[in-house]
Chain A
Amino acid sequence: MAEKVRFIIERQDGPNDKPYNQEFDVDYRPGLNVVAALMEIQKNPVTVDGKRVAPVTWECNCLEKVCGACMMVINGRARQACCALVDEIKKPIHLAPARTFPVIRDLLIDRSVMFESLKKIQGWVELDGSWDVKDAPIQNPYTAQTAYEISHCMTCGCCLEACPNVGPQSDFIGPAPTVFSIFTRSENLTRPNVLTRLWKRAALPVAATVKIASKFAPNLSSLQLTSRS
């Protein structure tokens, strides 16, 4: 018989329902990750005591650590489920939703508060035309490096989950939108010359900014920005 991996999943039927735990066994295979295991559970949602239950709900998209959708709490740490390799984590594996955000169902959370914050700080660049950027000022490598790091943010919400200053008790928007505002604060982003202005004032490499809108890369170093004071 194939080796089994035990998952203990904190489930919740609806936004206002009480959470409860359910355990599932998944056949081990080399390279198995948490998202793949959740897919197995979805195919055959039978708990360890043989009860057939509603399949576990979760969210994922890119499956390669660039979209941020699959963020959940795995063995107590907020991280991306798609790159959590079963081989590398302690078993049994505990899965829970990131409760800093409202839970919709099971592991599925509503991260829209982060996008609302990005709207508040106007954390985007409006590309309603094209601009000649060939005369853009030269940027010092340190600033460019910092900007590049921040552009990696995929709004997964790990940093909000780990930060003790984020929560219903405080109006702090969290680390991710805060670092974003470094680039976009005080900029009137609807002005046509915004790109050039961003180059000058906020030191944002255009290429990286456009990337924010289209494709994200995982950024772990921004976790350094959590929990100050």
Chain B
Amino acid sequence: MFHTTFYVRRLHSLCGLLILGFFILEHIGTNSMALAGPAFFNGVMGMVEEIPKPIFYSIEIGMYAVPFLFHGLYGIYIALQANNNPLRFGYLRNWNFTLQRWTAWFLVVFLIWHIGYLRIYLKGVLGNPISFELLQNMFSNPIVAILYVLGMWAAIFHFCNGITTFCMTWGITKGPRAQNVISLISMGLCAALCLATVAFMSSYYIY
């Protein structure tokens, strides 16, 4: 069909902002519970475990795995079409365009490690529930902790810059002024969420 690319790109954008965006916010929300201490965090984790398995799995596959794979694989295809040029054209949008792709490459590797180790190996194969102690143990290695903070930052930037571009793609912000306003708001959100990440990561060293 003639317009396939057009629709697949819209789907890519929609799925990234709504589904994966929700996923990031959910992660930041849940992880922030660590600030309230191990007991509280484990309580929240326990509540997640309460969700009946068939529902939990269908959410995981339908809501996360499938959109993730689609967004990731089609995203790789998009990223391969770019000719990143921020050094020649240092406009803000050329930089953000490039960072959007660099963070994406980092996230592909990071997420394979993160999901593969935590979700599939530790939780799936070994059957260990994710707990404060388990994470604390993992983050006692500073390199792992730093990679996790970088992973979160990359995901947050990708999401927040995604808000700006989503608004352009869908014709919500058409003029330069509206685009600047949204860009400022989303970069503000990006800074706030990045700080929140540092805050909840530090709780593993406090308790």
Contact = CB atoms under 8 A, between A and B. Distances in A.
Contact of B85 (A162, A228, A229): A162
B176 A164 contact: no
Interface in A127-178: 162, 164-167, 169-170, 172
B31 interface: no
Interface in B121-159: none
Nearest to B176: A224
Most buried by B among A166, A172, A226, A229: A229
Interface in A168-195: 169-170, 172
A167 B83 contact: yes
Contact of B83 (A169, A224, A229): A169
Contacts of B94: 162, 164, 226-227
A76 B88 contact: yes
B89 A77 contact: yes
Given A226-B93, A227-B97, A164 B169 contact: no
B80 interface: yes
Contact of A169 (B81, B85, B179): B81
Contacts of A78: 89
Q: Which interface class (under 10, 10 to 19, 20 to 34, 35 or more) fits A? A: 10 to 19
A164 B168 contact: no
Contacts of A228: 93, 97, 165, 168-169
Contacts of A169: 80-83
A77 B80 CA distance: 24
Contacts of B93: 226-228
A164 B165 contact: no
Most buried by A among B93, B165, B176: B93
B147 to A, nearest CB: 26
Given A224-B176, A226-B93, A164 B100 contact: no
Given A229-B100, A229-B165, A229-B169, A165 B88 contact: no
Interface in A51-104: 73, 76-78
B81 A229 contact: no
B83 A164 contact: yes
B91 A164 contact: no
B193 to A, nearest CB: 20
A169 B79 CA distance: 11
A162 B83 contact: no
A19 to B, nearest CB: 15
Contacts of B82: 164-165, 169-170
Contacts of B186: none
A172 B85 CA distance: 16
B42 interface: no
B97 A166 contact: no
Contacts of B103: none
Contacts of B169: 228-229
Nearest to B92: A227
A167 B85 CA distance: 11
B32 interface: no
A226 B90 CA distance: 13
B203 interface: no
A74 to B, nearest CB: 12
Given A221-B176, A228-B165, 18 more contacts: A77-B89, A78-B89, A162-B94, A164-B82, A164-B85, A165-B83, A169-B80, A169-B81, A169-B82, A170-B81, A226-B91, A226-B93, A226-B94, A227-B93, A227-B94, A228-B168, A229-B100, A229-B168
13 contacts: A76-B88, A76-B89, A164-B82, A164-B84, A164-B94, A221-B176, A226-B91, A227-B93, A227-B97, A228-B97, A228-B168, A229-B100, A229-B168
